[in-house]
Structure 1
Amino acid sequence: MRTLRVLGAVSLLSVLAAAPALAQTRRAAPSTRATAELSLTLADTAAQRAAGKAALVRLDYGQPHLRGRKLLTDSLVPMGRVWRLGANAATLLTTDVELTMGGKSVAPGRYVAQLLPEPSGWTLILQQETTGAAQVNVAAYDKAKDYARIPLTATTASQSVESLSMAFVPSTAPGMQKGDLTIAWGTVMLRTEWSVK
């Protein structure tokens, strides 16, 4: 019996001794997944509002982090070249309703969203998603497949944003459902207006 207790104690000590080594091999991924989601009320009547009739607009993206790197470089976000707007898998915009974004019509559907940073201005590029949107091969980018090119207003933030962040910010003004789409990373702040058609 005593031998079993000693063996049990030795086994427990070996597991405890190995735990720090196991913990040291675990690391956080260099990027994470994030979503920006907007729930829109489509209800025209009190009964529809009570039933919670709504539509969604959603951005699903890989969220890279700066981790000490500089943003506008060839290895991170190259100036003058189409960038996949996120990390790893394609950034997808899905909308249940027809929108106007930056003055451009966007029909209900799924779109791969990419970004073109240029000294003259930044552009959000939407292409219809037809492949299940695995990886976006920017080297194979084809301008002829663009569904919409949406101009973005760029400003410089006073404080750097560590992780790429996107948000649909709804307006509180009465009338048509509208607001801003914001994209922030590093000291770059991008914005365009959206509204429901």
Structure 2
Amino acid sequence: MKNSLVIIAFVLFAWVGASAQGFRNVDKSPMDAAYFPDNFAHDRKGDEKALVRILYSRPAKNGREIFGKLIPYGQVWRTGANENTEITFYQDATLQGKKIKAGTYSLFTIPNENEWVVILNKDLNYWGAYQYKEANDVARFTVSPKKSDTVIENFSIQFPKGTNALLRMGWDTTVIELPIQF
């Protein structure tokens, strides 16, 4: 009994102590990173370098209807949550025949039922898509969405393992893919 009280007191002290120090709770849509090659962040070997890095926030489905409802069709979406998603190319790349210079870009999308537009934009460090300006687009790419066999609870961006750079984004039952060549 005495040990239980000590443990409860310790947990309460730790919880109150963190709050008293001014740290906020964990974000509902935590930030994450995707790399190509996919294993770069965890399995770096020697002088291996990443070719692409994407920084984004991962909202959860939480039982909501996502595309066409929470994320309206036909409107620019920040492609994640919180700040707009950023993609960094560490060397020049080609996407759908369009040359993209090495650098960092905002990554926006316009979801639709049968077609998505993926947008690289030169504006950085904005919250959401509220200040998005089409005039600052670097390139746009059209892709066809696919249905996932299972529900993807948290919005996810990944480059599948392998030698080809295939940018995959998925949430709920929707997946889009955009090949990148170097």
Measured against the shorter chain, the TM-score band is: 0.7 to 0.9
Give the aligned residue type for 2:159: F
Q: What aligned pairs does 1:62-101 form with structure 2 within 5 A after superposition? A: 62-74=57-69, 76-101=70-95
> 1:117 deviation in Å?
0.9
Give the aligned partner of residue 178 of structure 2.
192
Task: Tell me the TM-score normalised to structure 1 length.
Answer: 0.72
Give the aligned partner of residue 156 of structure 1.
147
Runs of 4+ aligned residues of structure 1 deviating over 6 Å after TM superposition are: none
| Compared CA separation, residues 53 and 30, structure 1 to 2 (3 A) | closer
Q: Deviations over 1:75-133 (max 9, x none)?
A: x311110000011011000111111123322110010000101234101111014x5x1
| Compared CA separation, residues 53 and 77, structure 1 to 2 (3 A) | same
Rounded Cα–Cα distance in structure 2 between residues aligned with 1:142 and 1:165: 25
Q: What aligned pairs does 1:34-45 form with structure 2 within 5 A after superposition? A: 34-39=32-37
CA contact (8 A) 1:103 1:150 kept: no
Unaligned runs of 5+ in 2: 39-44
Give the aligned residue type for 2:118: L
CA RMSD of aligned residues (A): 3.1
CA contact (8 A) 1:59 1:92 kept: yes
| Compared CA separation, residues 94 and 17, structure 1 to 2 (3 A) | closer
Identity %: 27
Rounded Cα–Cα distance in structure 2 between residues aligned with 1:155 and 1:39: 23
The 3-state SS of whatever aligns with 2:12 is helix
* Residue 135 (str. 1) matches residue 127 (str. 2): yes
Give the aligned partner of residue 115 of structure 2.
121
Give the aligned residue type for 1:188: T
Unaligned runs of 5+ in 1: 1-8, 41-49, 173-177
CA contact (8 A) 1:55 1:97 kept: no
Rounded Cα–Cα distance in structure 2 between residues aligned with 1:102 and 1:170: 21
Rounded Cα–Cα distance in structure 2 between residues aligned with 1:87 and 1:162: 14
Rounded Cα–Cα distance in structure 2 between residues aligned with 1:134 and 1:55: 24
CA contact (8 A) 1:101 1:193 kept: yes
Task: Tell me the TM-score normalised to structure 2 length.
Answer: 0.77
The 3-state SS of whatever aligns with 2:77 is coil
Give the aligned partner of residue 3 of structure 1.
none
The 3-state SS of whatever aligns with 1:89 is coil
Rounded Cα–Cα distance in structure 2 between residues aligned with 1:161 and 1:53: 31
Give the aligned residue type for 2:140: R
The 3-state SS of whatever aligns with 1:140 is coil
| Compared CA separation, residues 195 and 171, structure 1 to 2 (3 A) | farther
The 3-state SS of whatever aligns with 2:135 is helix
Rounded Cα–Cα distance in structure 2 between residues aligned with 1:54 and 1:139: 34
Which has the larger displacement, 101-110 or 78-87?
101-110
Rounded Cα–Cα distance in structure 1 between residues aligned with 2:140 and 2:172: 23
- In the alignment, which of 53, 56, 60 is matched to residue 51 of structure 2? 56
